[in-house]
Amino acid sequence: MRKLDTLFIGFMLFSMFFGAGNLIFPPFLGAQSGTSYWLAMSGFIVTGVGLPFAVLFAISLVQGGIQTIGNRVHPLFSTIFMVIIYLCIGPFLAIPRNANVAYEMGIKPFLGSSSSAWVLFLFTALFFAVAYIVSLNPSKMEKYMGRWITPALLISMVVLCVVGFIKLDDPFQSPIGQYTHGAFSTGFIEGYNTMDALASLAFGIVILTAIQQRGIHDKKQLTKYTLTASLIAGVLLAMIYVSLGLIGGKMAANGSFTNGTDILTSASTLLLGQGGKALLGFIFTLACFTTVVGLTTACGQYFSKLIPKASYKAVVTIVTLIGFTLSNLGLNQILKVSVPFLVTAYPLTIVLITLTFFHRFFNGSRKVYASALLFTGVIALIEGLNSFGLDLGPLQTFRDILPLSSVGLEWILPALVGIVVGMVLSRFSKK
């Protein structure tokens, strides 16, 4: 495969990952972490860049991809887990979130007081119509997104960041909130919000298909080209996260902000006036559009294989219609669901992928996989229900006394206990 093809596939992967959360969270992290910025950003990059590409690497190593990895726990677990992941990062959460953010940043700022539900309806109708057309031709995604859209997106980001570095010279402020006592761990948890590790479970099939369409079928070659494309996308993501975070850190001296959207809106207007607002809207719209196309395509490929009677086109149509409908509920309603889901799903994903890399050290024992995921899942579910605002009484007390609970990593010790229990059970069953 030509080096240029690998570059464009890397660009396509970057554009699929780079959506609403990737723009919103780094500047807010920069503003809140202040003088602890580099420590916080390091944690963010671990889960926002490192973890997604560890998932892609693991998928490329295992014949059958994520479905086979899940089967190591149990075939039923694999199917249920992946269906939930695809539905949440697809039509029921990530897709409508990206479409709604594209409207909030690309259209609403120019409407003033005239914004209405009808404007949102018309925008999302056009947005999803175009995304639907592009998603129907997955073989051309590399051409549309890798060769055209990603370069335009990168050029726009470079303009905004370079102007920001030149014109913003305010010093970083003191860290606030949880960044005052746990900058790295707080950044680590914030990296969940990009949803990229979960998205990589879905994007793995898209990237492998794009590489295979170029005549690459050897396992080692597939892994090699997947890693190369992932490295390209990962470097681009890390550079943009650092740049946006620095802008957020320098903007903190100009007032208080409630989220990263406010920071970027204020920064773009301060730096470039109304033109900056238009540039930011263009960036958000492109970023959200490419992510929606990537997620729609991934859902289409997965569910059409899972359900043989469902064609790829039929699945894409259903996903598009659901995403379009839910995007009109409004961003706040969509975001209410995201945090509980993420704090439940991410620990399970991290443990599952980590075990994949150490598979041969415990001879791939199903007892180790099942025990580790069970112990992790119980604690992750408690945290997820707590994020919904439910008072769990003794369960909440138990969660609070676990090590690292103050920084949102209370699942680590149960995961380790689950691994040890699984290894012991595996040893006794052999005897």
The predicted-structure confidence for 47-59, as pLDDT tens digits, reads as follows 999 999 898 888 8
Specify the range with the lowest mean pLDDT, choosing from 24-33, 114-123, 180-189, 368-377. Answer: 114-123
% residues pLDDT > 70 (the chain): 95
pLDDT of 423 reads 93
pLDDT of 89 reads 81
Domain boundaries, the chain: 3-331, 358-431
The answer on pLDDT for 3 being more than 90 is no
Q: Label residue 331 by pLDDT band (50, 70, 90).
A: low
The answer on pLDDT for 62 being more than 90 is no
pLDDT of 425 reads 92
The answer on pLDDT for 2 being more than 90 is no
The mean pLDDT value of the chain amounts to: 87
Per-residue pLDDT of 140-154, as tens digits, reads: 766 667 677 888 888
Highest mean pLDDT among 103-112, 190-199, 296-305, 405-414 belongs to 296-305
Per-residue pLDDT of 246-294, as tens digits, reads: 999 999 988 888 888 889 888 988 888 888 888 988 998 988 998 899 8
pLDDT of 128 reads 96
Per-residue pLDDT of 210-239, as tens digits, reads: 888 888 877 788 888 888 999 999 999 999
The answer on pLDDT for 316 being more than 90 is yes
pLDDT of 327 reads 87
Domain 3-331 sits in CATH at 1.20.1740.10
Check if the beta carbon of residue 93 is closer than 8 Å to that of residue 341: yes
